Amino acid sequence: VQLQASGGGLVQPGGSLRLSCAASGRTSNGFDMAWFRQAPGKEREFVAAIRWSSRSTTYTDSVKGRFTIARDAAKTTVYLQMNSLKPEDTAVYYCAARSGQILSTIRFAEYYHYWGQGTLVTVSS
C-alpha cells in the first residue's frame, strides 16, 4: 500500500487547510487511517484517526472541535479538515494506514504499517 499526502502550506492563525491522503495498491482490505504530526524538535504525535468502517473517529484533545477526519466512499482517500489553526499546529503531517489491529491501539504510531511522505503545515502571520 502506498500513501500520498498533499494539501499542506502556509496559513495565517485562524485559517483553514484540508489535507488529503490517497492510498493505492492493495487497498481491498479494511484499513484504519490516521494523521500524525511532528513539530521541529518534538516527537511525532497522534492527531486523528478513522476506523476502517468509518463508524469511529478519534482525536487528540488539542484538535478536538477544530479538526475533522473523514474518508471518501471508496475508503481510499482520507481527509483532515483543519479549522481555526494555531501556530502550535505547525508541523509535518503524516498519514498512516494499518489493518487487523484493535481499536484501543489506534493512537499509537507503532501499530501502523504504512506511512506517507509527510506534508508541511505552517501556521504563521
Amino acid type, 53: S
Residue 25 C-beta-side C-alpha neighbours within 13 Å: 9
Cell of 77: 482517500
Q: What is the pLDDT tens value at each position of the chain, 125 positions in all? A: 899 999 999 999 999 999 999 988 876 668 899 999 999 999 999 999 999 887 899 999 999 999 999 988 787 899 999 999 999 999 999 999 998 888 889 999 999 999 999 999 999 99
CA distance 69 to 35: 9
Cβ proximity of 62 and 47 under 8 Å: no
Instruction: Say if CB 123 and CB 11 are below 8 A apart.
Output: yes
